[in-house]
Amino acid sequence: MTSWIRSLLWIVTALILAFMILPIVIVVIMSFSDSRFLTFPPPGFSLRWYEAYFGNRDWMDATWTSIMLAAITTVVTVPIGTAAAYAANVSQSKFIRRLQLLLLTPVMVPVIILAAGIYMVYAQIGLVATKTGLVFAYAMMNVPYVFIAVLAGLRSFDMNQEDVARSLGVNRFTAFMKVTLPQIRPSVITGALFAFIGALDETVVSLFIAGGENQTLPRRMFMSLRNEIDPTIASISSVLVTASFALVILAGLRGRKTNAG
């Protein structure tokens, strides 16, 4: 009876995992195709679409723009999200607790609405297709992820430690930097990763407000999908997936090291 349920669980789990991984596997396989079109299975294998990606100036420009914007977004988002999580964790005020909900709205509002709204505001104040505008938009959309990750870390942190640190002679900010932050670092890194990957990946809002010299990679990919379906997209996706995986694994390893130390 139990073994029967166990094997059923194994099968269900395997199916779910397969469902999640298969699209990625198919894209990666297609990226090594030698065909002119996105077909599966590919008739033969080659690296020509990787050459098409890395050898193309437009693609490279878009890539660097995206990486740079994602990096700046992360730098802006992490302190804001962390500070918000800290406030939500220590505050006893009902008002602050309600504010949390406001902070999470970017996740709850449909992206397309968000994009249209941002576009309308930006069009008025001249932020469309600017780096500043893009960073603001990405930061707004990714603060919730940092907030949730850091809040989870803080919930299991003994705030008495900060009180003790203060009584031992440091102010609240130093207490946070020296005592709290080192211990919630894994949560902060997770939040930062979400923010970075989220910004790197962002398509819908970018469709509305990116452009010109601030063309982001996902936007350019989308445009190119519309014009011609060629496997460059698959090779770019594979590169992005690999990079994201590498980041997540690196963060995981770091997290384990801090725990052991």
Partner 1 sequence: MTSSNFVSVSIQNLVKTYGNFQALRGVSLDIRAGEFVSILGPSGSGKTTMLQIIGGFARPTSGRVFFGNNDVTLLPPQKRDIGVVFQSYALFPHLSVAENIAFPLRARNISGAECKALVEKALDTVELGGYGERAISKLSGGQRQRVALARAIVFQPRLILMDEPLSALDKNLRETMQMELRNLHARLGATIVYVTHDQREALTMSDRVAVMSNGRIVQIDEPRTLYSSPVDHFVASFVGESTLVPVKRLGARQVALGDVVLNTASDVAQAQDIFIAIQSETLLPCSAAETEADSNYIQGTVRDLVFQGESLKASLELAGGTEIGFRIPSHRYNHLTLPQPGETVRLKLHVEDTIVVPANREVG
* Contact set with partner 1 (CB under 8 A): 92, 158, 160-161, 163-172, 174, 178-179, 182-183, 258, 261
Output 80 or 96, the one with its CB closest to partner 1.
96
**Choice between 163 and 228, CB closer to partner 1:** 163
Output the smallest distance, CB 189 to partner 1, in A. 15
**Residue among 105 and 258 whose Cβ is closer to partner 1:** 258
Give 41: exposed, middle or buried? Use CB within 10 Å, 0-12, 13-18, 19+: exposed
Q: Name the nearest CA neighbour of 137 among 67, 207, 236.
A: 207
Minimum distance from residue 164 beta carbon to partner 1 (Å): 4
* Distance, C-alpha 219 to centroid of its chain: 16
Q: How far is the CB of 261 from partner 1 (least distance, A)?
A: 8
> Residue 105: what are its φ and ψ, rounded to 5°?
-55, -40
Cα end-to-end span (Å), the chain: 43
Residue 97: CB atoms within 10 Å: 12
CA-to-CA separations, 120 to 116, 171, 216, in angstroms, rounded: 6, 43, 20
Least CB distance to partner 1 at residue 193 (A)? 21
Q: The tokens of 81 are what?
A: 């999200």
| Nearer to partner 1 (CB atom), residue 13 or residue 161 | 161
For partner 1, give the closer residue by CB, 100 or 183: 183
Report the nearest approach of partner 1 to the CB of residue 162 (Å).
9
* Phi and psi angles of residue 42, each rounded to the nearest 5 degrees, phi first: -65, 145
E strand intervals along the chain: none
Nearer to partner 1, 103 or 165 (CB): 165
Q: Under DSSP, is residue 153 helix (H, G, I), strand (E, B) or coil?
A: helix
Please say which residue, 13 or 174, places its beta carbon nearer to partner 1. Answer: 174
Smallest gap from residue 77 Cβ to partner 1 (A): 25
Structure tokens at 14: 């395997």
Q: Which of 150, 153, 171 is nearest to 85 (CA)?
A: 150
We find the least distance from the C-beta atom of residue 176 to partner 1, in angstroms, to be: 13
**Rg for the chain, CA atoms, rounded:** 22
